[in-house]
């Protein structure tokens, strides 16, 4: 009886603590996951999609030396699907397009250090045995050695600029190639050029694809749209140690009810609005965007408590447009990023 009472007392005590902390913790930030995206390694001819070998090794050494938690992309999707939070600051690595330089230079380093990495592959380029890209034999070997793969369409098309029929045929073609060459269809998906739209997301859902990665900067948290997950793109300019370390240690800036609702814009000067979940504690939010083809600080108007409107100082040019917002709260930088495709 005494034992029974004690056990129940402990249970009630525990429940009380659980309820107590669930009220306290939302006020604290969810650190989130910084996902990095590479393309080429040691291919100096392509600085906008390349990192030097030295830069790459400095990234790997930094995360190992500082014992940064590294997740697999599959774990991130599982956490999101289960509506769980990312309480511990973590990072993840991905590589797009399967260039040979990934296999020759980066994969041996990831593998040796037991660091998970996902390779997003556009199948048609590999089917055509394109020079400078991995072969299916190499991709199969990469999978057998513990690498993870993801879908990246068949022909690396600009998805929002194509008809539903073309997109569906393209995805079906890539699925056939995956089955033929690797034996399964990967669950993960990344948009070519990070470009999507509500129409494209609808098609992914028809294919039972539960998630998709873009290539806009930002940190993944439980508040993110599972069909538009941010990744920090690393190249020679943005691969320097300082910027990498900043992105590793940045926290998520969580927003909701983001407007406009479609990532594909007809209007080149949209009204951008969103609500911020965190308490900014009077710290100033800064937003930068590449209006008129150049990066500029944008005017922010508080339209309601916790809801802001970005007054763009210029129109966007046709093509990819990006927005990056940061704020420093309690010595931690919080980051939110977004990408539009402007018609
Ligand atoms: Zn790509």
Q: Separation of 138 CA from ligand 1 center, angstroms?
A: 18
Residues 186 and 272 in one domain: no
Same domain for 117 and 38? yes
Residues 198 and 327 in one domain: no
Tell the residue number behind the tokens 């599959």, with chain if given. Answer: 74
What residues make up the domain containing 96? 33-252
Q: Same domain, yes or no, for 236 and 97?
A: yes
Residue 40's pLDDT band, with cuts at 50, 70 and 90, is: very high
Q: Is there a domain that residue 87 lies in? A: yes
pLDDT at 235: 96
Cα of 91 vs centre of ligand 1, distance in Å, is 20
- Is the pLDDT at 27 greater than 50? The verdict is no
User: Cα separation of 190 and 271, whole Å?
Assistant: 27
For residue 81, the CA-to-ligand 1 centroid distance in Å is 25
172 alpha carbon – ligand 1 mean position (Å): 18
Whether the per-residue pLDDT at 26 is higher than 70: the answer is no
Residue 14 pLDDT greater than 80, yes or no: no
Q: Examine the domain organization and report whether 235 and 264 are in the same domain.
A: no
Output the CA 239–ligand 1 centroid distance in Å. 18
* 54 and 107 housed in the same domain: yes
* Same-domain check for residues 243 and 269: no
Ion ligand 1 residue ranges (Cβ < 5 Å): 96-97, 192
Task: Looking at the structure, tell me whether residues 210 and 325 fall in a common domain.
Answer: no
Residue 173 Cα to ligand 1 midpoint, Å, equals 17
Whether residue 206 is found in the same domain as residue 304: no
> What is the model's pLDDT at position 17?
54
Q: How many domains does the chain have?
A: 2
Q: Residues 171-216: pLDDT tens digits?
A: 999 999 999 999 999 999 999 999 999 999 999 999 999 999 999 9
Q: Tokens for 135?
A: 């072969």
pLDDT at 16: 56
What values do phi and psi take at 107, rounded to 5?
Answer: -55, -45
Q: Across-strand partners of 307?
A: 275, 304
Pairing of strands 272-276, 296-297: unpaired
What average pLDDT does the chain have? Answer: 93
Report whether 29 contacts 334 (CB < 8 A). Answer: yes
Q: Calculate how far, in angstroms, residue 171's C-alpha sits from the geometric centre of ligand 1.
A: 14
CA distances from 114 to 64, 88, 301 (A): 11, 20, 46
Domain membership of residue 12 (yes or no) is: no
169 and 289: one domain?
no
Q: Is residue 20 part of a domain?
A: no
Tell how far the Cα of 226 is from the centroid of ligand 1, in angstroms. Answer: 19
Give the model's pLDDT for residue 85. Answer: 94
- Ligand 1 centroid to 139 CA: how many Å? 16
Local confidence band at 28 (pLDDT 50, 70, 90 cut-offs): low
Domain boundary among 199, 231, 252: 252
Sequence length of the chain is: 343
CATH number at residue 303: 2.60.40.10
**Is there a domain that residue 25 lies in?**
no
Expressed in angstroms and rounded, the spacing between residue 215 Cα and the centre of ligand 1 is: 10
Does 10 fall in a domain? no
Residues 104 and 175 in one domain: yes
Range from 13-22, 142-151, 242-251, 327-336 carrying the lowest mean pLDDT? 13-22
C-alpha of residue 61 to centroid of ligand 1, in Å: 26
For residue 163, report the distance from its CA to the centre of ligand 1, in Å: 19
The reported pLDDT for the residue numbered 305 is 87
Which DSSP helix (H) or strand (E) runs through 125? helix 123-127
Does 79 score more than 90 pLDDT? yes
The Å distance, Cα 273 to ligand 1 centre, comes to 29
**Is the domain of 153 the same as that of 273?**
no
Residue 21 lies in a domain: no
Domain-ending residue, one of 194, 226, 252: 252
pLDDT tens profile 108-124: 999 999 999 999 999 99
1 within domain boundaries:
no
C-alpha separations of 241 from 63, 151, 236, 331 in Å: 11, 29, 10, 20
- % of the chain at pLDDT higher than 90: 91
| The pLDDT value given to residue 318 | 97
The residue written with tokens 């990023």 in the block is 337
**What is the tens place of the pLDDT at every residue in 281-340?**
999 999 999 999 999 999 999 999 899 999 999 999 999 999 999 999 999 999 999 999
Is 27 a domain residue?
A: no
Domain stops at, among 210, 228, 252: 252
CA dihedral 138, 139, 141, 147 (to 10 degrees): 140
Q: Which residues contact 277 (CB under 8 A, 6 or more apart)?
A: 223, 254, 255, 256, 306
């Amino acid at each position: 009886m005494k034992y029974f009472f004690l056990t129940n007392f402990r249970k009630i005590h525990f429940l009380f603590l659980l309820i107590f902390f669930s009220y306290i913790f939302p006020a604290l930030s969810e650190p989130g996951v910084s996902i990095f995206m590479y393309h080429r390694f040691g291919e100096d001819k392509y600085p906008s999609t390349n990192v030097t070998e030295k830069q790459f090794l400095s990234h790997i050494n930094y995360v190992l030396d500082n014992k940064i938690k590294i997740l697999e992309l599959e774990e991130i999707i599982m956490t999101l699907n289960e509506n769980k939070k990312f309480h511990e600051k973590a990072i993840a690595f991905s590589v797009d397009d399967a260039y040979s330089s990934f296999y020759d230079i980066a994969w041996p380093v990831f593998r040796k250090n037991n660091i998970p990495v996902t390779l997003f592959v556009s199948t048609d380029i590999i089917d055509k045995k394109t020079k400078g890209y991995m072969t299916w034999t190499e991709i199969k070997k990469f999978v057998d050695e513990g690498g993870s793969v993801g879908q990246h369409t068949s022909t690396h098309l600009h998805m929002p600029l194509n008809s539903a029929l073309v997109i569906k045929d393209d995805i079906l073609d890539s699925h056939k190639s995956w089955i033929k060459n690797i034996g399964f269809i990967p669950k993960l998906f990344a948009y070519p050029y990070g470009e999507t739209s509500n129409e494209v997301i609808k098609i992914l859902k028809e294919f039972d694809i539960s998630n998709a990665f873009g290539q806009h900067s930002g940190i993944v948290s439980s508040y993110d749209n599972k069909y538009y997950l941010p990744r920090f793109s690393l190249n020679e300019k943005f691969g320097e140690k300082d910027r990498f370390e900043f992105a590793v240690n940045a926290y998520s800036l969580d927003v909701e009810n983001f407007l406009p609702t479609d990532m594909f814009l007809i209007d080149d000067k949209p009204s951008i609005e969103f609500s911020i979940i965190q308490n900014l504690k009077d710290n100033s939010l800064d937003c930068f965007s590449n209006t008129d083809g150049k990066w500029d600080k944008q005017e922010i108007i508080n339209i309601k408590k916790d809801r802001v409107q970005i007054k763009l100082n210029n129109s966007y040019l046709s093509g990819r447009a990006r927005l990056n917002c940061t704020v420093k709260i309690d010595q931690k930088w919080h980051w939110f990023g977004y990408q539009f495709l402007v018609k």
